[in-house]
């Protein structure tokens, strides 16, 4: 329910009736739970991967942990943790809007870029929603903030008075990702750095953290390695439903056969343009196919494949050993598929049919 426009929300506010969500109910129930800690992760992009990675690091280290929230696992549906456990919560701006008392032991903001603006008066209100995660914290608790965009940097500056309890992650921080096969690319460098800072704040030693980074398998449809056939690697990044989320995948590989298209969320691919030099060939599909082909044609070779299955067959014929075929659509899926998960499943099925 969009709380900025729905008449029921307006009526509740007029009657001074609080509107709360499941995360607030969890926050109110914490006092009755065995002693525990909570990590909250938000951001426009990368929060699901970072949430899953932090949970995996804890699990690998033998720390009892539960993962929930926006990642699709309702936290109220899960059994309480024993004493010493850690709840790892992915938090959307919507969930933060409906939460007033969640005091995270560690709160993480990865980035803030324009999204969901139909639910806010403007970008500033959207960014302010993300910042509330830190406003709810006790000053002694840890804050971890990526500063790769202006809005996130401004939020970090706004909480700079907290001194040593705030850690900022600057873009381009050097990191050796060579031993972490599911954490490739500059965006995953930030995700991994955030997870490392959180794990250290929770008391994990470096050996346990490294073991978790090496064994993390990633999430479905987020730069997921589907197969390697004849030396060609096939990557499912179907969750990349806008150019901003597709750009990091293009940056991660030096020679890419790029499958893109669907129902476009905008008229350009500007966010991806810095990485066109990595694209060997593009294959466009769906409603946005003709538009995306026109945008790319002067920059990279393009095939208008129309369907995902056809794109896979063409790419299989074109790709050479050492190259990557990447489904990173930069568009929504609803023109040809139920959702991004269905699109990723169709991609996997088409790739497996090549074997």
Is 80 exceeded by the pLDDT of residue 117?
Answer: no
pLDDT of residue 2: 65
pLDDT of residue 10: 83
What CA–CA distance (Å, rounded) separates 271 from 72? Answer: 28
Any idea what the CATH number is for the domain that residue 202 is in? 3.40.1190.10
Any idea what the CATH number is for the domain that residue 329 is in? 3.90.190.20
Is 80 exceeded by the pLDDT of residue 4?
Answer: no
- Domain assignment present for residue 262? The answer is yes
Active-site entry in 36, 47, 239, 257: 47
Q: Are residues 59 and 182 in the same domain?
A: yes
Q: Are residues 171 and 200 in the same domain?
A: yes
Domain that holds residue 277: 224-352
Give every CB contact of residue 103 below 8 A, 6+ residues apart in sequence: 27, 38, 136, 137, 138, 141
CA dihedral 150, 187, 96, 29 (to 10 degrees): -140
Q: How confident is the model at residue 74 (pLDDT cuts 50, 70, 90)?
A: very high
CA distances for 327 relative to 9, 49, 130, angstroms: 39, 18, 29
- Catalytic residue list contains 47: yes
pLDDT of residue 113: 85
Total domains in the chain come to 2
Q: Are residues 42 and 152 in the same domain?
A: yes
Q: Are residues 113 and 194 in the same domain?
A: yes
- Catalytic residue list contains 242: no
Please write the tens of the pLDDT for every residue from 225-271.
899 999 999 999 999 999 988 999 999 999 999 999 999 988 999 99
Q: How confident is the model at residue 134 (pLDDT cuts 50, 70, 90)?
A: very high
3-state secondary structure of 219: coil
Residue 154 or residue 217, greater confidence: 154
Q: Are residues 59 and 135 in the same domain?
A: yes
Domain boundary among 215, 240, 255: 215
Q: Are residues 59 and 136 in the same domain?
A: yes
Q: Are residues 128 and 264 in the same domain?
A: no
Active-site entry in 116, 265, 310, 342: 116
Q: Are residues 206 and 295 in the same domain?
A: no
Please write the tens of the pLDDT for every residue from 283-336.
999 999 999 999 999 999 999 999 999 999 999 999 999 999 999 999 999 999
- Domain assignment present for residue 2? The answer is no
- Catalytic residue list contains 70: yes
Active-site entry in 70, 111, 242, 278: 70
Read off the pTM: 0.83
Is 80 exceeded by the pLDDT of residue 118?
Answer: no
Q: Are residues 249 and 143 in the same domain?
A: no
Strands annotated E in 203-332: 224-229, 232-236, 256-261, 279-285, 302-306, 324-327
Average pLDDT score over residue span 203-215: 97
Cross-strand bridge partners of residue 164? none
Domain boundary among 164, 180, 215: 215
- Domain assignment present for residue 274? The answer is yes
Q: Are residues 118 and 188 in the same domain?
A: yes
Is 70 exceeded by the pLDDT of residue 62?
Answer: yes
Please write the tens of the pLDDT for every residue from 246-258.
999 999 999 999 9
**Structure-token pair, residue 339:** 């959702």
Is 80 exceeded by the pLDDT of residue 165?
Answer: yes
Domain boundary among 215, 233, 248: 215
Q: Are residues 159 and 81 in the same domain?
A: yes
State the average pLDDT for the chain.
Answer: 94
Q: Are residues 206 and 291 in the same domain?
A: no
């Amino acid at each position: 329910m969009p709380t900025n426009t729905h008449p029921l929300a307006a009526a509740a506010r007029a009657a001074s009736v609080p509107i709360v969500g499941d995360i607030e109910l969890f926050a109110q129930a914490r006092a009755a739970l065995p002693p525990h800690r909570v990590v909250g992760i938000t951001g426009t992009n990368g929060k699901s991967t970072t949430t899953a990675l932090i949970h995996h690091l804890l699990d690998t280290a033998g720390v009892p942990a539960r993962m929930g929230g926006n990642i699709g696992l309702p936290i109220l549906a899960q059994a309480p943790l024993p004493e010493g456990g850690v709840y790892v919560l992915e938090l959307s701006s919507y969930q933060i809007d409906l939460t007033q008392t969640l005091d995270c032991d560690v709160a993480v903001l990865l980035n803030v870029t324009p999204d969901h603006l139909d639910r806010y008066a403007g970008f500033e209100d959207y960014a302010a929603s993300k910042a509330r995660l830190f406003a709810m914290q006790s000053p002694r608790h840890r804050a971890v903030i990526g500063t790769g965009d202006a809005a996130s940097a401004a939020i970090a500056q706004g909480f700079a008075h907290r001194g040593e309890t705030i850690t900022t992650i600057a873009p381009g921080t050097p990191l050796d990702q060579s031993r972490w096969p599911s954490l490739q690319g500059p965006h995953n460098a930030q995700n991994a750095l955030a997870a490392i800072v959180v794990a250290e704040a929770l008391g994990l030693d470096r050996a346990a953290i490294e073991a978790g980074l090496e064994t993390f398998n990633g999430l479905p449809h987020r730069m997921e390695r589907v197969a390697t056939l004849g030396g060609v690697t096939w990557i499912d990044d179907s969750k990349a439903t806008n150019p901003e989320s597709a750009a990091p995948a293009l940056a991660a590989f030096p020679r890419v056969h790029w499958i893109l298209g669907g129902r476009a969320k905008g008229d350009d691919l500007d966010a991806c343009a810095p990485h066109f030099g990595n694209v060997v060939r593009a294959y466009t599909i769906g409603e946005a196919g003709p538009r995306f082909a026109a945008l790319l044609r002067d920059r990279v070779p393009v095939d208008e494949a129309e369907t995902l299955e056809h794109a896979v067959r063409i790419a299989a014929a074109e790709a050479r050993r050492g190259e990557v075929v990447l489904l990173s659509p930069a568009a929504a899926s609803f023109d040809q598929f139920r959702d991004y998960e269905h699109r990723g499943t169709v991609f996997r099925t088409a790739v497996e049919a090549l074997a």
